[in-house]
Copies of this chain bind each other. A is one copy, B any other.
């Protein structure tokens, strides 16, 4: 029936069926073995996904594998990376732990990969140790004031700068190697002892825990920018890759970092650089203090990482739409982990499998078929830089651009059990709220929405007090290729912390060997009720996007966000720009036109006539809603930011809650003072105004916007 709207009773039925124990068992099976991208364990999870999605009773219409040949980086099993303290006579005084200390049998699986910095070059370097805080540009320039950094090894904390940035920022000063560790203050609320404080006694990171990670900036396969990495695809030279460490880099546990940092000589570092260790963090002489047994010693890195192009699989699942099969609602998460990945990403995959089980059963029983098609993606090699999802969007760029209604990402489904957290395009806010109101919050009688409202909220001019949803301005998970590269309306959702109870940057077992089923079921979500709430909420959103007659994408909320951004931009920049003869009027005009177009469209949508209109009218209104984010794309707007094309939500380093390209260009011009940099501000203002005005045009039938 072409005029059928979403069936509320079906949504209730769906939510009732979503079962916490099923999710728990999904997680158990997904986390049996480590499943780093392209390993045998990864292939086991491919088989699990295919089996489940091809199940004759609870599977999807079809499921298949898509393979890409992608550039990965691994430590050498036969030559583990080592970090040592060596005396002037080359005696090894101390060796950094090679692998994390196991507390359960699975943690001692030989397939647990040694902690390493993916894409760090191999190499053998030694030098005096210095402490460089978070490895930000400002950290090195501060340190460089008193210490000659040439030939040194820098030890840095996670946080503040991207992983690879810590090495990229260091190299120009002559630093020859970088160590990275997690400071207990940033992750463990200061706790350090595994005798009674950390895992296995709590969720905190044990002293030997090491956060692995991909040390790169750009997302997608690094050898095939803009091209899907098929076997015969052209590949750039590995030497032309940018955004990866130019010098050997290795992450280590805080028990080893403690030994190194507390022995450092030199001046005491500034207060802001101090951390959780019970010693003063010094800059380093460079090197250790005279009273240390390490005095005059070097720190030596022997890194044996190697790169390899290997086949990585996405597993795709498809439910064909009954009325509009050529409209896609996409739901995805990565499948690969660093080790067992119980939380990251298997919590999300367990949720996805439960959603597909319930929906698949209805499809197989013939009791339901969505109006629009649903695509499920189990992405490969996300941990190395969103590779599977990025290659997918490159391969199917045209069809996905034309047909995708929205992308839902649930990676880490549960960080903690306090409240829902969600980010997305503003047009998604309404449908997320609607779903969250219909789900009971775990451990409460109230709804997920009411619980969320209590934890984090804001006042909207239109809606009053509402939960505060974030924007997808980064590239932290697989939503990025969809939102930034394709301009598809996207959201990311999870259960998360009570920020008043912990300062942890993220859940402490993140990317360590401790992110196991045991950890997840004991410390993150006992009973899997948080998982259940996320599955219900995300599934509810998914069904609404797939089944609603008029797409539940609210462009008035988009207008509100643009108005907020505009108002911030005017406050921050208008006065100064006037003096530079750069007018912000076109931007104001664009936002006003956008609001006017939205108001007209809203009238059409809310008119009682619409239900009686032809199905084509519904489709054309939906096309306007579906394609709205596409109108904000400009492939040339951010030449220095690979994959970022969305002029409203691109990443920004200026740290302002406003249009990212404008904020960055302004900050840059203000700091350099050069006329050519003010020109770039003017240029970006034109890019931005044109995009917003162009988006306004797409909300009208005849492209005419009047204000």
A binding-site residues for B, Cβ under 8 Å: 2, 64, 224, 226-228, 230, 232-234, 318, 320, 323-326, 373, 394-400, 402, 583, 585-586, 614-616, 619-620, 623-624, 627, 630-631, 633-636, 679, 682-683, 685-687, 690, 693-695, 697-698, 700-704
Contact = CB atoms under 8 A, between A and B. Distances in A.
B614 A698 contact: no
Contact of A232 (B583, B703, B704): B583
A563 B469 CA distance: 51
B614 A2 contact: yes
A683 B224 CA distance: 10
Contact of A234 (B399, B616, B683): B683
28 contacts: A2-B615, A226-B634, A227-B686, A227-B690, A230-B586, A234-B679, A234-B682, A320-B702, A323-B616, A324-B620, A325-B701, A325-B702, A326-B623, A326-B624, A373-B701, A373-B702, A394-B690, A395-B693, A396-B694, A398-B630, A399-B631, A399-B703, A400-B703, A402-B630, A402-B698, A614-B615, A615-B616, A616-B616
Contact of A586 (B232, B325, B395, B698): B232
Given A320-B702, A623-B402, A701-B326, A2 B616 contact: yes
Contacts of A701: 320, 325-326, 373
B685 A396 contact: no
Nearest to A684: B234
A586 B233 contact: yes
B234 A685 contact: yes
Contact of A228 (B2, B320, B690): B690
Contacts of A703: 396, 399-400
Contacts of A693: 395
Contacts of A697: 396, 398-399
Nearest to A371: B616
Contacts of A694: 395-399
This chain: copies in complex: 2
A704 to B, nearest CB: 8
A390 B586 CA distance: 20
A73 to B, nearest CB: 23
A601 to B, nearest CB: 12
A615 B619 CA distance: 10
Contacts of A325: 620, 701-702
Given A2-B614, A2-B615, A324-B616, 12 more contacts: A224-B686, A232-B586, A320-B701, A325-B702, A326-B624, A394-B690, A398-B695, A398-B697, A399-B700, A616-B616, A635-B635, A635-B636
B324 A690 contact: no
A636 B226 contact: yes
User: Which of A324, A623, A686 has the most chain B CB atoms closer than 10 A to its own CB?
Assistant: A686
A230 B694 CA distance: 13
Contacts of A624: 326
A404 to B, nearest CB: 11
A683 B616 CA distance: 42
A697 B399 CA distance: 6
A222 to B, nearest CB: 15
Contacts of A623: 326, 402
A323 B227 CA distance: 39
Minimum-distance CB pairs A-B, first 3: A398-B631, A234-B686, A635-B635
Nearest to A636: B226
A649 to B, nearest CB: 16
A460 B620 CA distance: 38
Contacts of A227: 686-687, 690
Nearest to A64: B704
User: Which of A234, A615, A624, A679 has the most chain B CB atoms closer than 10 A to its own CB?
Assistant: A234
A32 B583 CA distance: 41
A562 to B, nearest CB: 15
A140 to B, nearest CB: 34
B318 A702 contact: yes
A320 to B, nearest CB: 7
Nearest to A225: B636
Nearest to A682: B234
A394 B686 CA distance: 12
Contacts of A620: 324-326
A92 to B, nearest CB: 45
A274 B315 CA distance: 67
A696 to B, nearest CB: 9
Nearest to A683: B234
User: Which of A398, A693, A700, A701 has the most chain B CB atoms closer than 10 A to its own CB?
Assistant: A398
A586 B701 CA distance: 40
User: Which of A232, A397, A693 has the most chain B CB atoms closer than 10 A to its own CB?
Assistant: A232
A218 B614 CA distance: 44
Contacts of A64: 704
Contacts of A398: 627, 630-631, 633, 694-695, 697-698
